[in-house]
């Protein structure tokens, strides 16, 4: 949510900033801007995409200088327009600031500054930070930063330039991500690794309120007492091509196609000679036996992955599982027992509500196991145990491979816990693990049918609304399928537990209403077919998803998409594939920007 870059070195800053922002555009894309030093601070900013900023820079003339900061915005305070775009500058032009996060007490601060004679031009919370820097400036940017931090409340990653310090950038973070990239006679700040990759693979992770002073040839990190902190250097292991489109029209399709690899990479290091070994987590058999209840907490698709987790963990490990939306959990005063554990799921590891929920669970003293994709992210660092999904960087705003890798870990946890608690025999484990290991190649087979689903999507691209129904795990996947369609194609789509539809919502079904019916739970199949008949009787057009060999469903549904045979517990991994591809092609057909849907941003770092 908002992307920040900063560059200081011996090359021109502007092209580095623009390239970096392009890599971060997935974080927000309603406006953007840069500030670059030459003999004075030059600021160019505009509403719209980065292409609009590039155009404006061309029109405004050249921007020279080897020090600069840049920002791509997802609006929180004030409309996405030229004035509210970052960087924000103090009234006298001395300070320039880019910010990701929310300054919660910006209104009283603004009033206080106005009384001192500062005038504001934007509606943003960030302009207050620029003015505060100016008001507190005493010739030392670290002192000033400390005073500003003590005054502001909320979440922030800040990159700041001062007219009087042309050879440094000062930066800080709290509850919003910020990395420091380490180059050769050049250094960087960025919200995420892809912005750095062209220049360096070495970086520092920052903890809350660690202040960074970035110069061309050195990086100093200080705490709030101005004591220098020595940091471990992290090294990016993946290649720049992983974060490129690689010939696909959109990252989303590339990431859909990468799902077999992502699941393989997530599963295979943890399956050794047919045995599940949950690397790096410190749970003994005794610990697992003592678990009283599991609280799974997440947002959006990660929450949907948690729902799949509930079904499989309760089934195999017989541990009661509650699944909460992080934004609810954090404020609902959850009752946690000392022997409960909390599983936090997050692709980015930075989602504000999820991080706050983790802290609430921790405050109550329960053990946190997190499932995270981004190595070293805040959620990973604050958890007691971490299981990484090895999905690689996910750039498209709508998650695909991140979700698939999360559910793969849900299966492993369910089986491992089930075995430890004595509910699954060694024989059963062997057979289930073999099924798990087969999932990536089953997805590869499924992906070959992409062309058929494209045709189906084209035929239905202009529908006004749709339903996705299912029972049991199929219902959990229905929620994910409906979200995919909604967020990228802007078609209203509701997921419903198939048995629940007749309790009111079926009144919305009329002639031609599209219903995607997931019918892959053998144990619930007949019940689901009855629900399909109910919507058919009211005129719905039904596309069913069923297991291969099921010929009967074709007599009830208008179209059938077949998935390979698989045990009921693992169907989510296969069911979701046609739903993702169907949504993708509907969105393409409707002319939507698949990777950057309106109003959205990846990594939601505000609550
Ligand atoms: C939907 C989607 C979001 C995220 C949610 C949580 O396609 O991507 O719903 O799943 O914002 O994000 P993470 O997993 O980064 O915490």
pTM: predicted TM-score of the whole model, two decimal places:
0.89
d(CA 196, CA 16): 9
Q: Report the nearest atom of ligand 1 relative to the CA of 403.
A: 10
Quick one: pLDDT at residue 167?
95
Nearest CA to ligand 1 atom 10: 301
d(CA 496, CA 482): 9
Distance 555 CA to ligand 1 centre (A): 37
Is residue 279 over pLDDT 90?
Answer: no
Distance 565 CA to ligand 1 centre (A): 29
Residues 6 or more apart from 405 whose CB is under 8 A from it? 262, 263, 265, 266, 373, 389, 390, 391
Distance 1 CA to ligand 1 centre (A): 12
Nearest CA to ligand 1 atom 3: 300
Identify the DSSP state of 4.
E
Report whether residue 300 contacts ligand 1, using a CB cutoff of 6 Å: yes
Task: Quickly state the pLDDT bin for 605 (edges 50, 70, 90).
Answer: confident
Report whether residue 302 contacts ligand 1, using a CB cutoff of 6 Å: yes
Q: Report the nearest atom of ligand 1 relative to the CA of 301.
A: 10
Report whether residue 383 contacts ligand 1, using a CB cutoff of 6 Å: no
Is residue 555 over pLDDT 90?
Answer: yes
Chain mean pLDDT for the chain: 95
∠ CA 456-457-463, nearest 5°, is 110
Question: Could you tell me what percent of the chain has a pLDDT over 70?
Answer: 100
* Structure-token pair, residue 200: 């360096």
CB 573 within 8 A of CB 404: yes
Distance 49 CA to ligand 1 centre (A): 22
Is residue 76 over pLDDT 90?
Answer: no
Tally Cβ neighbours within 10 Å of residue 476.
Answer: 27
Q: Are strands 154-162 and 169-174 parallel, antiparallel or unpaired?
A: antiparallel
Distance 74 CA to ligand 1 centre (A): 15
Q: Report the nearest atom of ligand 1 relative to the CA of 351.
A: 16
CB 540 within 8 A of CB 515: yes
Active-site amino acid positions? 2, 602
Quick one: pLDDT at residue 280?
78
Report whether residue 301 contacts ligand 1, using a CB cutoff of 6 Å: yes
Task: Quickly state the pLDDT bin for 246 (edges 50, 70, 90).
Answer: confident
* Structure-token pair, residue 174: 């709290």
Residue 468, SS3 per DSSP: strand
Helix (H) or strand (E) holding 563: strand 559-563
Nearest CA to ligand 1 atom 9: 300
CB 221 within 8 A of CB 192: no
Report whether residue 398 contacts ligand 1, using a CB cutoff of 6 Å: yes
Distance 398 CA to ligand 1 centre (A): 7
Buried-state track 76-96, b at ≥16 Cβ within 10 A, e below 16: bbbebbeebbbbbbbbeebbb
CB 581 within 8 A of CB 14: no
Which tens digits make up the pLDDT trace of 372-423? 999 889 999 999 999 999 999 999 999 999 999 999 999 999 999 999 999 9
Quick one: pLDDT at residue 601?
82
* Structure-token pair, residue 405: 């890798």
Query: Given the structure tokens 């924000």, which residue do they identify?
Result: 88
∠ CA 282-283-288, nearest 5°, is 170
Task: Quickly state the pLDDT bin for 62 (edges 50, 70, 90).
Answer: confident
d(CA 264, CA 287): 28
d(CA 499, CA 514): 17
The mean per-residue pLDDT over the stretch 444-462 comes to 96
Report whether residue 605 contacts ligand 1, using a CB cutoff of 6 Å: no
Residue 454, SS3 per DSSP: helix
The mean per-residue pLDDT over the stretch 73-88 comes to 91
Quick one: pLDDT at residue 362?
97
Residue 395, SS3 per DSSP: coil
d(CA 31, CA 85): 6
- DSSP assignment of 105-140: THHHHHHHHHHTT----SS-SHHHHHHHHHHH-SS-
Is residue 240 over pLDDT 80?
Answer: no
d(CA 411, CA 419): 12
Q: For the purposes of burial, counting CB atoms within 10 Å of the CB of 154, is it exposed (0-12), middle (13-18) or buried (19 or more)?
A: middle
Distance 399 CA to ligand 1 centre (A): 6
Q: Report the nearest atom of ligand 1 relative to the CA of 603.
A: 15
Q: Residues 359, 360, 363, 368: what is their CA dihedral angle, to the nearest 10 degrees? A: -60
Q: Residues 307, 311, 312, 315: what is their CA dihedral angle, to the nearest 10 degrees? A: 160
∠ CA 205-155-98, nearest 5°, is 75
Window from 20-29, 301-310, 483-492, 580-589 with minimum mean pLDDT: 20-29
Tally Cβ neighbours within 10 Å of residue 111.
Answer: 10
d(CA 190, CA 181): 7
Report whether residue 400 contacts ligand 1, using a CB cutoff of 6 Å: no
* Structure-token pair, residue 425: 């025999």
Helix (H) or strand (E) holding 445: helix 426-447
Neighbouring-strand partners of residue 386: 370
Is residue 40 over pLDDT 90?
Answer: no
Report whether residue 305 contacts ligand 1, using a CB cutoff of 6 Å: no
Report whether residue 380 contacts ligand 1, using a CB cutoff of 6 Å: no
Q: Report the nearest atom of ligand 1 relative to the CA of 604.
A: 11
Report whether residue 580 contacts ligand 1, using a CB cutoff of 6 Å: no
Q: Which of 356, 592, 597, 604 to mutate to test the pocket of ligand 1 (most atoms within 8 A of CB)?
A: 604
d(CA 424, CA 203): 44
d(CA 256, CA 572): 15
Distance 26 CA to ligand 1 centre (A): 13
Report whether residue 399 contacts ligand 1, using a CB cutoff of 6 Å: yes
Is residue 239 over pLDDT 90?
Answer: no
The mean per-residue pLDDT over the stretch 39-51 comes to 92
d(CA 338, CA 506): 43
Quick one: pLDDT at residue 547?
97
d(CA 379, CA 546): 37
């Amino acid at each position: 949510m908002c992307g920040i870059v900063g560059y200081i070195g011996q090359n021109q800053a502007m092209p580095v900033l623009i390239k970096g922002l392009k890599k971060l555009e997935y974080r927000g894309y309603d406006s953007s801007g840069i500030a670059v030093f030459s003999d004075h601070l030059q600021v160019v900013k505009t509403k719209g995409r980065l292409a609009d900023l590039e155009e404006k820079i061309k029109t405004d003339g050249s921007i020279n200088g080897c020090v600069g900061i840049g920002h791509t915005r997802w609006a929180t305070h004030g409309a996405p327009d030229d004035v509210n775009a970052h960087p924000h500058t103090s009234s006298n032009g001395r300070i320039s600031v880019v910010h990701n996060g929310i300054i919660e007490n910006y209104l009283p601060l603004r009033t206080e500054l106005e009384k001192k004679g500062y005038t504001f031009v934007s509606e943003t919370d960030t302009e207050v930070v620029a003015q505060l820097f100016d008001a507190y400036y005493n010739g030392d940017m670290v002192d000033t930063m400390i005073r500003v931090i003590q005054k502001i409340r909320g979440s922030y990653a800040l990159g700041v330039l001062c007219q009087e310090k042309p050879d440094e950038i000062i930066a800080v973070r709290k509850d919003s991500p910020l990395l420091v990239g380490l180059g050769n006679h050049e250094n960087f700040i960025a919200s995420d690794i892809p912005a750095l990759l062209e220049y360096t693979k070495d970086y520092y992770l920052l903890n809350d309120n660690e202040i960074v002073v970035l110069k061309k040839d050195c990086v100093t990190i200080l705490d709030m007492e101005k004591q220098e902190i020595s940091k471990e250097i992290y090294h990016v292991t993946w290649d720049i091509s992983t974060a490129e489109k690689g010939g696909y029209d959109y990252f989303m399709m590339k990431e859909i196609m990468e799902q077999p690899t992502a699941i393989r990479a997530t599963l295979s290091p943890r399956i050794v000679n047919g045995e599940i070994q949950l690397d790096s987590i410190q749970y003994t058999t005794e610990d697992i036996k003592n678990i009283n209840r599991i609280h799974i907490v997440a947002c959006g698709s990660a929450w949907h992955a948690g729902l799949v987790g509930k079904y499989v963990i309760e089934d195999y490990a017989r541990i009661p599982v509650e699944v909460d939306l992080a934004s609810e959990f954090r404020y609902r005063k959850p009752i946690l027992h000392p022997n409960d554990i909390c599983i936090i799921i997050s692709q980015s590891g930075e989602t504000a509500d999820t991080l706050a929920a983790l802290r609430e669970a921790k405050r109550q003293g329960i053990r946190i196991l997190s499932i995270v994709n981004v190595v070293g992210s805040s959620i990973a660092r604050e958890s007691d145990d971490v299981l990484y999904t090895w999905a690689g960087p996910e750039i498209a705003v709508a998650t695909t491979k991140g979700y698939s890798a999360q559910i793969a870990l849900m299966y492993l946890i369910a089986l491992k816990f089930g075995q430890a608690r004595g509910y699954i025999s060694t024989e059963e484990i062997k057979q289930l693990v073999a099924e798990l290991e087969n999932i990536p190649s089953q997805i590869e087979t499924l992906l070959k049918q992409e062309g058929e689903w494209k045709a189906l999507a084209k035929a239905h691209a202009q529908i006004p609304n749709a339903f996705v129904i299912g029972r049991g795990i199929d219902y959990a996947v229905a929620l994910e399928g409906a979200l995919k369609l909604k967020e990228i194609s802007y078609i209203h789509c509701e997921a419903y537990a198939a048995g629940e539809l007749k309790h009111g919502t079926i009144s919305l079904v009329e002639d031609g209403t599209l219903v995607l019916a997931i019918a892959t739970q053998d144990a619930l199949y007949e019940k689901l077919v009855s629900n399909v008949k109910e919507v058919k009787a009211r005129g719905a057009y039904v596309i069913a998803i069923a297991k291969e060999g099921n010929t009967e469903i074709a007599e009830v549904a208008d179209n059938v998409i077949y998935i390979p045979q698989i045990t009921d517990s693992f169907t989510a991994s296969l069911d979701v594939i046609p739903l993702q591809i169907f949504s993708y092609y509907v969105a393409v057909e409707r002319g939507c920007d698949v990777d950057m849907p309106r109003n959205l941003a990846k990594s939601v770092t505000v609550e």
